[in-house]
Each structure stands twice: as C-alpha cells, then as structure tokens.
Amino acid sequence: MAKLNIVLFEPEIPSNTGNIGRTCVATGTRLHLIEPLGFRLNEKSIRRAGMDYWEHLDVTRYVNYQDFCDRNPGAKVYMATTKAPYVYTEVQYEPDCYLMFGKESGGIPEEILLDNQETAIRIPMLPTIRSLNLANSVSIVLYEALRQNHFDHMQLEGHLTRFDWK
C-alpha cells in the first residue's frame, strides 16, 4: 500500500500548513514538519484551515534538517524547488517516498539542494513568477505521486446522494 510523505522545511504560514495537513488526511499521507516553524501548531489559523481533520493527521516534528535525516535513514526524498533541473512529472515516485517543500520565503536551502540534485523537481511556470503557493504546490506534486501509484487505498468513484448515475 502506498504511504507517501510530505515534508515541510521550516514552514512559516500557518494557513498553508493547515491546508496541507487537511490534504494529507484526505490522502492518507504522513506530514513531517522540520523546525523552526513560523507559528505554533495550536494557532487558530491552523485549526481553521485544517478544520476538524487535524486530530486525524499523522504528523512528526523534527528539531532541524539533520534530525529529519537521522530519523529517516535511506529515505528517498524528492526536493520541490523552482531551481530544480527536472519537472515533477519526469520522475517515478516510489510508494513510500518523501516529497519535501521549503519555507514560503526562501524554499529549501541551496546547500541541501546541491546534495540532492538528482531528486530535485520543479513545477513548470512562467519565468516572471517567483513561485506558487506552498499548499498548491504540495497538492500538485502529491497528486502526481498518488496517480503514479494508482491512487492506492483511495476511493475512486463518487456517488450521488439522491440520484443514481445512468
């Protein structure tokens, strides 16, 4: 069964993290938060964005990037960055891989990217745009990884409440 992982490197905006948490709950994805965080996890804006899903979130916190690496040895980590050489659709995502996204104001530090250039991925966009919203970026890449893993363990068919599809 696919069990993907989202890693947020020093996220700064609580509503982004709340929305990402909700997406993780909806997809059965684990969330990993690398500190320092730009907010407290009990802030109202996280609860509002994550709604009542936050209590169901599988979330792990790390004191820094080295703590993340130490506690996840051998993990395949794809680094989402505007500086990447590969488009996010050009790689094959393993069912248990990690998708890392940097903080809103600066992304993933270049020292980390340099050590991981073979797994650095990007979302194509116009060259006049600095970056996409963090929560949107996570959704784009996560759903590609889920698609490649055949949406394993997810509900693939919807049903009308009062009518039947014909």
Q: For the beta carbon of residue 138, count every other beta carbon within 10 angstroms.
A: 25
Domains of the chain: which residue ranges? 5-148
Q: Specify the CATH class of 5-148 in words.
A: alpha beta
Q: Spell out the alpha helix ranges (H) of the chain.
A: 14-27, 44-50, 65-71, 110-115, 134-148
| Cβ partners under 8 Å of residue 85, min gap 6 | 117, 120, 122
Which segments are annotated as binding site for S-adenosyl-L-methionine? Answer: 102, 123, 131
pTM of the model: 0.92
pLDDT in tens, 100-137: 999 999 999 999 999 999 999 999 999 998 899 999 99
The chain-wide mean pLDDT, for the chain, equals 91
90 alpha carbon, distance to own chain's centre: 18
In the numeric block, the tokens 């979302």 are attached to: 123
Which segments are annotated as binding site? Answer: 102, 123, 131
Instruction: Lowest mean pLDDT of 35-44, 65-74, 79-88, 147-156, name the range.
Output: 35-44
